[in-house]
């Protein structure tokens, strides 16, 4: 039964190694899922920040355009006289 004991020992080692691989796979998978969730959260934060900048930039551009139109309407006759 020496061969049977060696076979049993070998099978137990294979089983233990597979368990270790499965545990490592689970750990890595959990870590990857956590990283993906962080990336999604960060992307949502940047999206909100981008929308705020776009809104502020639009307000500033509209204000400057309004100021330009006002100044041209108010001072245009004096500036473009012949």
**Computed from CA positions of residues 9, 14, 20, 26, in that sequence, does the dihedral angle turn out positive or negative?**
negative
CA proximity to 28, closest of 40, 36, 39, 17: 36
- The structure tokens listed for 9 are 């020992």
Tens digit of each residue's pLDDT, the chain (82 residues): 688 889 999 999 999 999 999 999 999 999 999 999 999 999 999 999 999 999 999 999 999 999 999 999 998 888 888 7
Report the predicted TM-score, pTM, of the whole model to 2 decimal places: 0.61
């Amino acid at each position: 039964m020496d061969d049977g004991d060696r076979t049993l020992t070998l099978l137990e080692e294979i089983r233990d190694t597979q368990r270790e691989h499965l545990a490592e796979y689970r750990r890595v998978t959990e870590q990857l899922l956590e990283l993906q969730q962080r990336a999604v959260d960060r992307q949502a934060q940047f999206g909100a920040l981008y929308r705020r900048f776009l809104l502020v930039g639009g307000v500033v551009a509209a204000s400057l355009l309004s100021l330009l139109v006002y100044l041209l309407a108010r001072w245009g006759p004096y500036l473009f006289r012949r």
